Structure 1
Amino acid sequence: MTDEAWLAKLSEEILEPDLPIIDPHHHLWDRLGPYYTDELLGDLTSGHNIRQSVFIQCRYGYRTDGPKEMMPVGETEFAVSIAEEAAEKRPDIGAVAGIVAHADLMLGADVDRVLEAHEAAAKGRLRGIRHITASGGEAFSGAVPNAPLRQMYDETFRAGFARLQPAGLTFDGWLYHPQIPDFADLARAFPETTMILDHVGGPLGIGPYRGHRDEVFADWKASMTDLATCPNAHVKLGGLAMDVNGFDLNREPLPPSSGELSRLWRPYIETTIELFGPERCMFESNFPVDKGSCAYPVVWNAFKRLASGASETEKAALFHDTAQRVYRL
């Protein structure tokens, strides 16, 4: 459960409150507590100038009957219902302006019918597909959701992946840092497909990686340096408050301040921006997952601290323009 009382122990003045922001990565569910229309709007209106948001699949709201491959379409239908309710309550904010759905790319070319069903259900909001490939392999069975290793090389997976670009869809990848080379190989194989690496590539800090942050960073940076040579690859800057990153922020007596978050996250954020440029990077909240460790206004304050040395054009890209272009909002 999200500990609202613990999060309330720290509040901050909003930095640069007029800076336009698109939040390109949030979920909707009732797992760690409800995160539906009111909870989403509560965060989007908590002080920062959030103009629009993008919903990312999270395996929630699936259909409970019918063909298995079509069950994820229920999540798109659920997200649209939240978008419509949010529009009635706050028409000035484009909540769930875009949807990144799930379709099983292991269907190969047969995934077309699932993509078409998502398109029909999304009512003009479908922007991309995420097929989770995060895997810790045999040495790290505690990783969630622990997808099959090297799935991005599978010929059937790639046959399904090949259907995205003709359908006008992007691909979001959630994976862990040892798999970034797999993502890069996929990007090179499909240079016309717009690809987004979630959560700065998932640098791990638990299991066998705990206590080896320097080595993890070196491996992560080498892989990100190679990925940056793929012009179709973009990166979301965020998602570093998850348990798998090993910062253990939720175990402290007080929630982390934006200054503390920016100190912890700076090596990953600054390195990624240096490698990819602001035009291929976008800050993300990853809420409500990251809400287990920090509050929404504090997260965006941390991002603003991290971007404090950027030009106005660079800030516009990082907080708004890259997400707007990539997700065609």
Structure 2
Amino acid sequence: MSEAILEPDLPIIDPHHHLWDLRPLMAAFPEPRHHFIEAIALSPYYTFNELHADATCGHNVIGTVFMECGAFYRAGADDAFKVVGEVEYVNGVAAQSASGLYGDIRLCDAIIGHADLRLGAKAGDVLDALSAASPRFKGIRHQGAWNADPDVLGPPFHAPEGLYNDPAFREGFAELGKRGLTFDAWLLEPQLDDVLSLARAFPDQTIVLDHCGTPLGMGSYHGKLHERFDTWREKIKAIGQCQNVSVKLGGLAMSFAGMPDHGPAAGLSSETLAAMWRPYIETCIEAFGPTRAMFESNYPVDKWGASYATLWNAFKHLTIGASADEKRALYAGTAARVYGMEHLLA
């Protein structure tokens, strides 16, 4: 479905997308596939060309933030340092974009990598190696998604239950603050208390909650979004009281959330998607405020439910009544502040 681009001049910093080549991985998952594997199969190969085509589809995307996804790790390196390869690769993509040959857009202007914080204080050595790999490196994500129902997450995810409460993890987490690095938290709605506990234990650490806290509509949670909404909302409001936490407004087109509950590339209009997502997006903006909230594409994962152009149109439908200052924050300003990209707005 092709739509006219809404507010084409509004500057956007997309603070959450991936780059990967998952073709060898896809071969390891025979049919029938788990819903998440089916979703990423839409774009098993998503690197510079694919990202550039999406980001230049008509919306005024001026820069982006790469989010770790376990791709392009260093072959032959010690296990703890394999992750450096991902940052090295993405730094090359960022340099390609910064060459100016592809326009003014600055893809991967900030890079979020990964380090295993369960290493405790030794995680500091990995963080230092990641920092040395790119001046664009801003922080890490260590995803903690866990659920007892195997149909919710599927085989790609193996975070232990209660990861963010683990003493060794928190020892490693403390190393981020020593270096002024950010932390992206991804986990599922039933686990949101773990983020709240972490944020309260480290009130000076910048934390970004990914994907509106990932409401669940799959597996044993199918059809329960409505009955679980109040629980999700109360937890979001509590986390929003922590001034060190910002929230990413997106990820709702992932197959986990089931909004839409069918894919791939469901073909729904941006107005239909906006109506579906409105209760979650508006709750998050109310809880965190525009200066601690940022719209995200989560591409190519959210391709499950919408094209890149339709996705951003849906967000713009949701902010029709917002002020100019609020839009500046939600679409670019918050991301620029959190990830050190203010130069893009100068």
| Counterpart residue number, 2:74 | 63
| Counterpart residue number, 1:6 | none
C-alpha contact (below 8 Å) 1:209/1:216 kept by paired residues? no
| Counterpart residue number, 2:339 | 327
SS of the equivalent of 1:23 reads: strand
Displacement of 1:131 after TM fit?
0.3
- AA aligned to 1:313 is D
CA distance in 2, matches of 1:146, 1:246: 21
Residues 27/253 of structure 1: CA separation in 2 closer, same or farther (3 Å cut) = closer
Q: Deviations over 1:270-305 (max 9, x none)?
A: 011011110110000000111122101111110000
Displacement of 1:207 after TM fit?
1.1
Displacement of 1:238 after TM fit?
0.3
Displacement of 1:139 after TM fit?
3.6
Of 266, 272, 281, the match for 1:269: 281
Of 158, 166, 183, the match for 1:154: 166
Residues 25/253 of structure 1: CA separation in 2 closer, same or farther (3 Å cut) = closer
SS of the equivalent of 2:129 reads: helix
C-alpha contact (below 8 Å) 1:249/1:256 kept by paired residues? no
Displacement of 1:130 after TM fit?
0.3
| Counterpart residue number, 2:153 | 143
Displacement of 1:140 after TM fit?
4.3
SS of the equivalent of 2:282 reads: helix
Displacement of 1:320 after TM fit?
0.6
Of 43, 46, 55, the match for 1:44: 55
Residues 254/325 of structure 1: CA separation in 2 closer, same or farther (3 Å cut) = closer
C-alpha contact (below 8 Å) 1:140/1:208 kept by paired residues? no
CA distance in 2, matches of 1:201, 1:170: 17
Verify: 1:98 aligned to 2:110, yes or no.
yes
Displacement of 1:248 after TM fit?
4.0
Q: How does 1:123-202 map to 2 (within 5 A)?
A: 124-136=135-147, 138-140=148-150, 142-144=152-154, 145-202=157-214
Structure 2 gap ranges (5+): 23-42, 342-346
- AA aligned to 2:73 is Y
Q: Deviations over 1:140-171 (max 9, x none)?
A: 45414141111111110000000001111000
**Pairs aligned (count):** 318
Verify: 1:33 aligned to 2:24, yes or no.
no
CA distance in 2, matches of 1:152, 1:70: 21
C-alpha contact (below 8 Å) 2:151/2:218 kept by paired residues? no
CA distance in 1, matches of 2:330, 2:79: 38
CA distance in 2, matches of 1:283, 1:59: 23
Of 107, 130, 133, the match for 1:121: 133
CA distance in 1, matches of 2:6, 2:316: 7
SS of the equivalent of 2:329 reads: helix
CA distance in 2, matches of 1:51, 1:303: 17
CA distance in 1, matches of 2:114, 2:194: 19
| Counterpart residue number, 2:93 | 82
- AA aligned to 2:114 is H
C-alpha contact (below 8 Å) 2:266/2:306 kept by paired residues? no
TM-score using structure 2 length: 0.89
Q: How does 1:195-234 map to 2 (within 5 A)?
A: 195-234=207-246
Of 267, 273, 283, the match for 2:295: 283
Residues 253/28 of structure 1: CA separation in 2 closer, same or farther (3 Å cut) = closer
CA distance in 2, matches of 1:87, 1:140: 42
Which portions of structure 1, spanning 4 or more consecutive aligned residues, are displaced by more than 6 angstroms? none
CA distance in 2, matches of 1:107, 1:254: 41
Of 19, 43, 57, the match for 2:10: 19
**Mean Cα displacement is larger for which, 175-184 or 249-258?**
249-258
Residues 200/254 of structure 1: CA separation in 2 closer, same or farther (3 Å cut) = closer
TM-score using structure 1 length: 0.94
Verify: 1:73 aligned to 2:73, yes or no.
no
> In percent, how many aligned pairs have the same letter?
48
